[in-house]
Amino acid sequence: MLRFAILTAGNIAHHMARTVAAVPGVVEPYAIAARDKQRAADLAAECGFAKSYGSYEELMADPLVDVVYIGSTHNLHAQHVRMALNAGKHVLCEKPLTVNAAQARELFALADEKKLLLTEATWTRFQPAARALREILDSGEIGRVVGLTANMGCAVAHKPRIALPELAGGVLLDLTIYPLTIADIALGQPLGAPKGLCAKNENGLDVQEAVQLEYEGGRLASFFVSGRAVLDNTATVWGEQGRVTLEADFWHTQALTVESPRGVRRVELPFDATGYEYEVRAVAAALESGARECPDMPRSATLRILEQMDALRAAWGIRYPFE
């Protein structure tokens, strides 16, 4: 079984460690590293990981680690992915894979050179709801699709990872990546770059935004994202004969409502554990089959969304200090 390691012991690292513990037999809970040895040891003990390290370098130097899951802040993803690939580890990295598309292209090239798997952990793409949505749209149940609307709002603007330019803050990389992902799943490649407006915080970072995309055949997507307020957090795909609503929170929904001339039906998709298990299974399955890419999260999709976010930031005049 693949020996699975987690880099960091922060918020998402806790979710991932608990997930690995909750789905035994998928990967071996092997090691956790954090900047503070005790925090790594506490999380490892709680979730049954065999080893803990007080530095990322020690984790990378452990020859028994097969896969590293990276849960650091956005500004550090590229550095940590590079460290892991250079140490010969496969990588599952939290979203966004990097802060811009150029960094991601460089890391995919490095992964190819090292013959290693590198996958972005945008959990939305791996979940049963993503597959169910595609199947419903492809079946024609709601007729020809004309567009998508979504709201995503979480009161996170005060958090350092959103508020600070040096951490590649702003809601674009943290929240807007999710409606961009749902639009990508439902509508595919847009015509040209997205357009949008943003409101900025005192550090010049985007804290609220309204984004629009246009697709072939006159289809449109529009969403409002806020780091200041909790919104209804639903997404709806609209068809000429009905609609599919991804219930709150749409980016990890466990229920879709389909309304069509046939009536109203609710599709319930309960998680096996936390919702993060699907990406871990996908990595294990890809490696088992000798692949270096997960079919649910193709590299082309990672790059497409990063290019969309690059275009929005360029239009808004937002650059991170380390870029």
Ligand X SMILES: NC(=O)c1ccc[n+]([C@@H]2O[C@H](COP(=O)([O-])OP(=O)(O)OC[C@H]3O[C@@H](n4cnc5c(N)ncnc54)[C@H](OP(=O)(O)O)[C@@H]3O)[C@@H](O)[C@H]2O)c1
CB atoms within 10 A of CB 18: 15
CB atoms within 10 A of CB 60: 22
Q: How far apart are CA 261 and CA 257, in angstroms?
A: 13
Residues in contact with ligand X, shown as a per-residue x/- string from 20 to 39 under the rule CB under 6 A: --------------xxx--x
The DSSP line for 145-214 is EEEEEEEEE-S-TTSHHHH-GGGT-SHIIIIIHHHHHHHHHHH-S-SS--EEEEEE-TTS-EEEEEEEEE
Which residues touch 214 (CB under 8 Å, ≥6 apart)?
Answer: 190, 191, 192, 220
Q: Does 194 bind ligand X (CB under 6 A)?
A: no
**Among all residues, whose Cβ is closest to ligand X?**
10
- C-alpha 145: how far from chain center: 25
Looking at residues 220 to 239 of the shown chain, list those that interact with ligand X (rule: CB under 6 A): none
Looking at residues 102 to 161 of the shown chain, list those that interact with ligand X (rule: CB under 6 A): 123, 161
Residues in the chain: 323
Q: Does 90 bind ligand X (CB under 6 A)?
A: no
In the list 4, 6, 10, 215, the residue contacting ligand X (rule: CB under 6 A) is 10
Q: Does 9 bind ligand X (CB under 6 A)?
A: yes
Q: How far is the CB of 124 from ligand X (least distance, A)?
A: 8
Q: How far is the CB of 145 from ligand X (least distance, A)?
A: 26
In the list 3, 51, 74, 90, the residue contacting ligand X (rule: CB under 6 A) is 74
CB 132 within 8 A of CB 269: yes
Q: How far is the CB of 38 from ligand X (least distance, A)?
A: 11
User: Total residues at the site for ligand X (CB under 6 A)?
Assistant: 19
Which of residues 9 and 152 has its CB atom nearest to ligand X in the complex? 9
Contact set with ligand X (CB under 6 A): 8-12, 34-36, 39, 71-74, 76, 94-95, 123, 161, 174
